[in-house]
Structure 1
Amino acid sequence: MLSDHLSAAVRNLGRNRVYGGLNIVGLALGLAAAVLTGLYVRSELSYDRFAADHDRAFVVTSELRSPGQATVASDYAPAWLARRIRQGVPQVGATARLVYDQVSLKRGAVAAREELAWVDPDFFAILRLPAIAGDPLQALNDPDGVVITRSVAHKYFGAEAPLGQTLILDGRHILRVRAVLADFPSETHLTQHVFASGRASFSRLARIDAVPNPDRGFATWLVTPRPGQSPSARFETVRLRTYARLATPDVAPAASAALRRLVASGDMLAGLPPGSSVQLELVPLASLHLQNFRGANLGAGDARASLGGLLGLTAAAGLVLALAVVNLVNLTTARAAQRAVEVGVRKAAGARRRDLIVQFVSEAALQVVVATVLAISLVELLLPGLNAFLHKSMSFPYWRDPALALGLIAVAVAVSLITGAYPSAVLAAFRPASVLKGGPVETAGSGSIRIALVVAQFAVLIGLAVTVSVVWMQTRFATSQGLRMDIDQVLVVQATPCRGAFEAEVRRLPGVVTAACSSRNLLGLDDFDTVKNVMDGNVAGGPITHADMGLVDYDWFDLYGVAPLAGRLFSPERGKDELPVQNYPELQRGSVVINMAAARALGFTTPTAALDQEIQVGPGYGAFDIVGVTPDTTLDLKSAQVKPTFFLADFANYPADQVLSVKLERARAPDTVRAIDHLWRRLGQPGEIQRQFLDDYVQRLYVTTIRQGVLVSVLCGLALLLACLGLLGLAAFTAERRTKEIGVRRALGATRGAILRMLIWQFTRPVLLACLIAWPLAWLVMRSWLQGFAYQVVLSPWIFVAAGLLALAIAWTTVLGHALKIVARKPINALRYE
């Protein structure tokens, strides 16, 4: 019996090659899109699950609120907290800290700049990463111990066995390889591949622990001596992550409660502005990738996932698959009349309704099986390109992954039942007597259901078109238009102190338009400046404002294309602009430029109102005259509002990490960058040069948004294609079905234009109804998505109107060809039809 059904299904598919091909191709595209999207979402949800016992590993996250400043949520924790957790949280079995560092490593002729992590010895007891040589659990007990990954071992040691071999750090310290880890998958929060023992006296962890720092204060400081400057030190807040291993996963709530009590009992707010608050949480390691960190650019390369974005992407892929299913259902039921006689004869010959349903479900299943095979082939073909675009290593091992194989089978069965159930019910409901007499063959309501499906199809298309438009508008706004800074061809070199021989030589290089020094916090380059560059300021009788302190050169504003809203900028012709070496404890006296956020915080309603006002900065720093007000500028429009900022020209006194911004000529940029690198080495600057183009940095800040935008755009393109395929088949059938009607209308005097308008209007009404459904839903969804950005584009009505017009244009273009063919026929030929 089954073989008979399959044979009949194959014969029917062969008789309807065009419609069958449209069904199979559309369904294959929908299935492939769903599978690829599913692989991406599964990858994003599987971060750090490769580590053994990952469910027992937790990371301490913090949320800092300070008056006048944006909330900072990050994976930062103070250095002393790990010891206090071991003492005060009994559910925790081990803790370890990780501190980032940029170092130079050398072995023989191989030398490179590496991102290194200084970690406590228990780090690998918490993160049990797979090892291929040595014992990571014991490797970092020795102060000179270092653990590297396989790729780093191959880079420095080639085919040699790396265990026991040495690496030279920054040209003077020796590290000995104690263990080698397997290379990490792309699904991990760890960006480092070199882990050195924090017990080394020269490590950042050892230096942090050597600073007198009792259990108080939120910030972790490092002090690097800087001769000839008062104060003779460089202060640096360190990004430090704290890990904890729980006895069992189910004690996490109790551990979090104990952590909150520990924070409440300590003096964590020491050094923070009055009114500040800190909240700490224990986050499972596998959930760290989904945390909504904001307010500080803690590594632009740490592209974190948004759970809402993943859900939206999954929904979009599901809708595309639904479109493919709708196409199959629509075309199958629309062509029901072509099989009416077959159904009538079989029922008259004794076929039961159940037999007919099995027959038509078998036909649908055959198309689904063929489409599934084609979809699997498309996934295999497209996956390498998707991996390259997403910088992932996703695989599609359906033959050895039971969950994946069962998922594919379940989807295929579900689609078979969905696409076969309703059409088979429609076809099996035909009455033999009516069919064989030539009476109406369409069941009641089938036409309405078909129209409803077309409306749903176009509603999905319109919604996806709106989504794509808003995502790309927001991305463009966030990476260029909204910055209010010209970052094109701007190279930033980390150089502290910035002023000196290197800066002077860079200015003279061919291809350099201009260059300017500034403090690093002004650009927020992977910085965590919660307290070190913040000072209080107020005008007489006005509110106290917590503002960032930014150091700028004379040319800095011009380099970034920032013009004042009122007043002027710093100039070398003004004697008070550049501050001299301070004679402590005397207060400074000079000029300051503020941004508009600072002007509002100080109580000024307009930029002009702030000019020539005296502002007290401190405590104990000095009095400054406001000479200019600039627009609010930032590189990060996503995570936080622009902070109030005071700009000073005080490189002689105020300690800050500094950068040199270099504006390059586009045509000569590659040669100029090489010349800057050579100049750095020639002048004997410490360490390898650390540089990056600002537009690349901004792109990395939004890499997740950009990637998901591209994926949604592809899904929208597929939805458009599927809508065209479905409408093409439906229009062809409609034109064929109404051939006699059109002939009669023509014979009674109807013009071609009237017939054409009738046919086009038939497909215009569903599009208009789809707009009424899609517009409010799309507005709600995109409004919610935009809430994740500190600065947003406006949801203009034209976006929704344009999406509706696009759908209307698609409908008209698809139908027009068939309509023209029908109206061109002679009435006599149409009346002879059937």
Structure 2
Amino acid sequence: MFRNYIKIAWRGIIRGKGFSVINIMGLALGLACSLLIMLWVNDEKNVDAFHKNGSFLYQVYERNYFDGKVDASYNTQGLLAQELKKTVPEVQYESGFEFAAPPGSSNTFEAGKKITKMSGAFAGEDFFKMFSYPLLQGNAATALNEPNTIALSKYMAEYFFGDASDAVNKIIRFDNKEDLKVSAVFDNVPHGSSLQFDFLRTWADFVKQNNWVHNWSNTSPQTFIQLRPDADAAKVQDKIKSFLYNYQQKNKSFIMELALQPFTEKYLHSNFKDGYLDGGRIEYVHLFSIIAVFVLLIACINFMNLATARSAKRAKEVGIRKVIGALRSTLIARFMGEVMLLAFFSIIIAVLLTVLALPAFNGLTGKQLTLPFGQPAFWLSILGLIIVTGAVAGSYPALFLSSLKPVRVLKGSLKFSWSATFFRKALVVFQFAMSAFLVIAMMVVYKQLNYIQTKNLGYDRGNLIYIPIEGDLVKNFELFKQRSLADPAIVNISKMRNSPTGISHHFLDISWPGKDPNLTVPFADAVVGYDFVKTMNLQLLSGRDFSKDYGTDSVGFLLNETAVNKIGFKDPVGKTISWGSHEGHIIGVIKDFHFSSLHERIEPLIIRLDENWSWGTIFVRIKAGRTNEALTFLQQLCRQLNPAFPFTYQFSDLEYAKLYKSEAVISKLANLFAFLAIFISCLGLFGLATFTAEQRTKEIGIRKVLGASSSSIMKLLSVNFLKPVALAFLIAFPVAWWAMNSWLQDYVYKINMNGWLFAIAGALTAGIALITVSYQSIKAALVNPVGALRAE
């Protein structure tokens, strides 16, 4: 019996080749799109899921109440992890974590004749006991215990020493200033880890090199802890809430609290709102999960519409089968069999399309996704997709065709009820409502990203490059600056402890005359060299830049507008303030510029001069149009002044773009899925146009006999086709406005969603729909009325 159903279904597919091809390709595209999204969503959800102790791992974050608001950050005190383990019995293991190089840069390593740059971090003694990064050589209990030692990844060990087993106890030079002994080799960090590093250094070395960690008002590193299996995380969180006051005095104007977040949740839930966790990448996971379902539904709706459009051609077949005794259940099984066979062919094509699209999709998303052919769960999912898709796509056509009355069908008086017509149009409305929503979302995301890329940040990102301060450039900076400025392609040079997009360090101990002793305000702080304002093209509101012409600038400060407003000085230049133990006078006020993401409001910023700072970034301002010439000169100069380090640089605008890498990927995905949704939806509209044209053949013939022109008939049919599309706009627009307005709330600086944005989206979607129905409209309008009436 089953074999007979398959054979009959195959014959039905062969008889309607064009119909079958459209249906199979529509379903295949929907399934391929859904498969890609499912792979991406599954990969996102599995980030950090490989840690065996994952259920006991937590990240500590700090919540601050000050100045009438609540803020939170993962930046914590440098000694916090160690102190938590000492004083809280429920903490079994701890680790601080801080990258060894400034954001956007890496460290230089040398062993034998090989030299290269690698990225890594400092971590605590318990790090390998907590996290599942398997050691290939060495012991997890001692790998990060001794100062002046380092653990290497397998890739890094093989690069320098040929074989991972030969690396332990070998010496490798770090930034040409320290010789470190290799204590362990760990397996390469998997792609599904939110922490990515090629090496780890000991926390003892971090504390030794950063004396500021002993001041508990300074924050920067991340803090991880592992609780004992019998510990209650909620109770531990209550216990450590006021932990910082064991090391600092309480201040009513600046209240500090510690809180815990399960480490395995951080990747997807890392946004803060009013000091509490509130979304993150999980919002995109939810969004694209919904899109996957809707795209698949759109593909299934296409099948319903196309099958219904073809129903008039199969009506006599149903009538004859019923007359000779076919039961309705038998007809339903037959039609469902055809659909299942179509779904089977579609899923095969969908898998092939997915395999072909994966390299480009991985390049777009930065992932390493593969179809898990070797996992039984994958094949069960494929089987489930065939059944669910077949059931959803084939249920309505099967029920509809099997319900036809044989007497009416064989008499040629087949008519469709108002409810059946309404249902088909409702399906098209749903399709285009979803498509219009995706088009609007695509345009809003694109416009916001364009706003981010083109917004005036307060400094000039163009023709500005960053060179890391490392090796002999520390002592040769002045010579480097002199020789560079002698080159006609270079305009200005300065330096900074971080980069303009990486000012994350904050200082609480800022004071000024008349300050309320109970007031504590966190200031972002930066250390720079001479000519900083000039090189960055910042706008001075009053005062001047740091200059060698003024010997007192070593005890001078620059403030931004927000800092001056917070202090309350009306004429700030010349006034005295203190930055911890650094007391000095304000020499200038600069217009606010963005030194962090546009998700965050500009904070008070204080800048001091230190031309001898031993690490950070050199800023080089290049003349427009002479980039290649300047880079060639700088490379040669660095080889002379800093021969032990390879020449590396970054463009300022590209470094800034990294802040919005996730948004850029989401924008591209939204564009892709919006295009596919519209394309698949247009197949459904094509089906409805085919159906309508078939049902109105006699009407069109009569209209032409009575003198109607082809253009008037085309207009009549096109307007009728576009009515459900217009209704879809009315439904989609308010939903899209609400959803995208909620998305934009994550940005402090954002676009306004004007009415023209919706108008363009509507016109674009309507235009595509009109092009889709034009073929059927023209075909129906040009038909010979004699043939149409004779057929009746």
TM over 0.5, shorter chain: yes
Residues 558, 586 of structure 2: 8 Å contact kept? no
Residues 58, 284 of structure 1: 8 Å contact kept? yes
Structure 1 residues 211 and 11, CA gap change in structure 2 (3 angstroms)? closer
Which residue matches 2:486? 508
Q: 1:258 aligns with which of 239, 255, 259?
A: 239
Structure 1 residues 7 and 180, CA gap change in structure 2 (3 angstroms)? same
Which residue matches 2:270? 292
Name the CA distance, whole Å, in 2 between partners of 1:394 and 1:250: 37
Q: 1:379 aligns with which of 354, 359, 367?
A: 354
Residues 68, 545 of structure 1: 8 Å contact kept? no
Offset at 1:62? 2.4
1:183 aligns with 2:191: no
1:350 aligns with 2:349: no
**TM-score, with length taken from structure 2:** 0.89
Residues 336, 442 of structure 1: 8 Å contact kept? no
Residues 559, 586 of structure 2: 8 Å contact kept? no
Structure 1 residues 470 and 779, CA gap change in structure 2 (3 angstroms)? same
**TM-score, with length taken from structure 1:** 0.85
Structure 1 residues 176 and 520, CA gap change in structure 2 (3 angstroms)? closer
Name the CA distance, whole Å, in 2 between partners of 1:93 and 1:554: 48
Kindly provide the amino acid, as one letter, of the partner of residue 118 in structure 1.
F
Which residue matches 1:597? 562
Kindly provide the amino acid, as one letter, of the partner of residue 337 in structure 1.
A
Structure 1 residues 42 and 665, CA gap change in structure 2 (3 angstroms)? farther
Structure 1 residues 380 and 538, CA gap change in structure 2 (3 angstroms)? farther
| 1:64-143 paired onto structure 2 within 5 Å | 64-67=64-67, 71-74=71-74, 76-102=75-101, 103-143=107-147
Residues 131, 180 of structure 1: 8 Å contact kept? yes
Structure 1 residues 579 and 544, CA gap change in structure 2 (3 angstroms)? farther
Name the CA distance, whole Å, in 2 between partners of 1:651 and 1:148: 34
Offset at 1:66? 4.5
Kindly provide the amino acid, as one letter, of the partner of residue 251 in structure 1.
D
> After superposition, what is the alpha-carbon deviation per residue over 1:690-738, rounded to whole angstroms, capped at 9, x for unaligned?
6422112112111111111111110011012112222223323322332
| 1:568-583 paired onto structure 2 within 5 Å | 570=545, 578=550, 580=552
Residues 517, 553 of structure 1: 8 Å contact kept? yes
Name the CA distance, whole Å, in 2 between partners of 1:571 and 1:118: 34
Residues 539, 616 of structure 1: 8 Å contact kept? no
Name the CA distance, whole Å, in 1 between partners of 2:632 and 2:161: 28
Offset at 1:337? 1.5
Partner SS state of residue 161, structure 1? helix
1:425 aligns with 2:399: yes
Offset at 1:491? 0.5
| 1:498-537 paired onto structure 2 within 5 Å | 500-512=478-490, 514-520=491-497, 523-525=500-502, 527-531=503-507, 535-536=510-511
Kindly provide the amino acid, as one letter, of the partner of residue 116 in structure 2.
A
> After superposition, what is the alpha-carbon deviation per residue over 1:321-377, rounded to whole angstroms, capped at 9, x for unaligned?
221111111111222121111111111111111111111111111111111011111
Which residue matches 1:740? 698
Offset at 1:670? 4.1
Partner SS state of residue 267, structure 2? helix
> After superposition, what is the alpha-carbon deviation per residue over 1:424-478, rounded to whole angstroms, capped at 9, x for unaligned?
1111111111111111243551110110011111111110001111111111212
Name the CA distance, whole Å, in 2 between partners of 1:686 and 1:269: 47
Of 305-314 and 423-432, the range deviating more from structure 2: 305-314
Which residue matches 1:679? 637
Kindly provide the amino acid, as one letter, of the partner of residue 773 in structure 1.
I
Offset at 1:549? 5.3
Name the CA distance, whole Å, in 2 between partners of 1:84 and 1:571: 40
Q: 1:317 aligns with which of 282, 292, 309?
A: 292
Which residue matches 2:206? 204
| 1:214-293 paired onto structure 2 within 5 Å | 217-219=216-218, 239-248=220-229, 251-263=232-244, 265-268=245-248, 275-293=253-271
Which residue matches 1:781? 739
Q: 2:603 aligns with which of 620, 626, 643?
A: 643
Offset at 1:134? 3.6
1:790 aligns with 2:755: no
Residues 316, 712 of structure 1: 8 Å contact kept? no
Partner SS state of residue 225, structure 2? strand
1:33 aligns with 2:9: no
Residues 56, 249 of structure 1: 8 Å contact kept? no
Partner SS state of residue 138, structure 1? coil
Which residue matches 1:416? 390
Structure 1 residues 827 and 535, CA gap change in structure 2 (3 angstroms)? same
Structure 1 residues 110 and 468, CA gap change in structure 2 (3 angstroms)? same
Name the CA distance, whole Å, in 2 between partners of 1:500 and 1:659: 14
Offset at 1:814? 1.3
Offset at 1:622? 4.3
Partner SS state of residue 528, structure 1? coil
1:831 aligns with 2:785: no
Residues 61, 72 of structure 2: 8 Å contact kept? no
Which residue matches 1:633? 593
Offset at 1:539? 9.0
Structure 1 residues 828 and 309, CA gap change in structure 2 (3 angstroms)? same
Which residue matches 2:303? 328
Kindly provide the amino acid, as one letter, of the partner of residue 473 in structure 1.
K
Note the aligned Cα RMSD (angstroms): 3.3
Structure 1 residues 537 and 360, CA gap change in structure 2 (3 angstroms)? farther
Structure 1 residues 2 and 341, CA gap change in structure 2 (3 angstroms)? same
Q: 2:577 aligns with which of 617, 627, 643?
A: 617
Name the CA distance, whole Å, in 2 between partners of 1:132 and 1:461: 51
Kindly provide the amino acid, as one letter, of the partner of residue 205 in structure 1.
V
Which residue matches 1:607? none
> After superposition, what is the alpha-carbon deviation per residue over 1:264-291, rounded to whole angstroms, capped at 9, x for unaligned?
x523467xx8722333222222112124
| 1:38-77 paired onto structure 2 within 5 Å | 38-67=38-67, 71-74=71-74, 76-77=75-76
Partner SS state of residue 151, structure 2? strand
Structure 1 residues 122 and 593, CA gap change in structure 2 (3 angstroms)? closer
1:306 aligns with 2:281: yes
Structure 1 residues 759 and 557, CA gap change in structure 2 (3 angstroms)? farther
Identity of aligned residues (%): 26
Offset at 1:307? 1.0
Partner SS state of residue 180, structure 1? strand
Kindly provide the amino acid, as one letter, of the partner of residue 429 in structure 1.
S
> After superposition, what is the alpha-carbon deviation per residue over 1:506-528, rounded to whole angstroms, capped at 9, x for unaligned?
2223532x223254457142x43
Offset at 1:211? 7.4
Structure 1 residues 416 and 391, CA gap change in structure 2 (3 angstroms)? same
Q: 1:490 aligns with which of 464, 472, 477?
A: 464
Name the CA distance, whole Å, in 1 between partners of 2:292 and 2:418: 32
Structure 1 residues 380 and 269, CA gap change in structure 2 (3 angstroms)? farther
Structure 1 residues 571 and 129, CA gap change in structure 2 (3 angstroms)? closer
Residues 73, 292 of structure 1: 8 Å contact kept? no
Partner SS state of residue 640, structure 1? coil
Offset at 1:658? 5.5
Offset at 1:246? 1.9
Kindly provide the amino acid, as one letter, of the partner of residue 489 in structure 1.
N
Kindly provide the amino acid, as one letter, of the partner of residue 580 in structure 1.
T
Name the CA distance, whole Å, in 1 between partners of 2:465 and 2:733: 43
Structure 1 residues 760 and 401, CA gap change in structure 2 (3 angstroms)? same
Residues 104, 112 of structure 1: 8 Å contact kept? yes
Offset at 1:108? 0.4
Structure 1 residues 50 and 167, CA gap change in structure 2 (3 angstroms)? farther
Name the CA distance, whole Å, in 1 between partners of 2:635 and 2:236: 50
Name the CA distance, whole Å, in 1 between partners of 2:203 and 2:611: 33
Name the CA distance, whole Å, in 1 between partners of 2:122 and 2:522: 33
Name the CA distance, whole Å, in 2 between partners of 1:450 and 1:546: 61
Residues 744, 827 of structure 1: 8 Å contact kept? yes
Structure 1 residues 600 and 86, CA gap change in structure 2 (3 angstroms)? closer
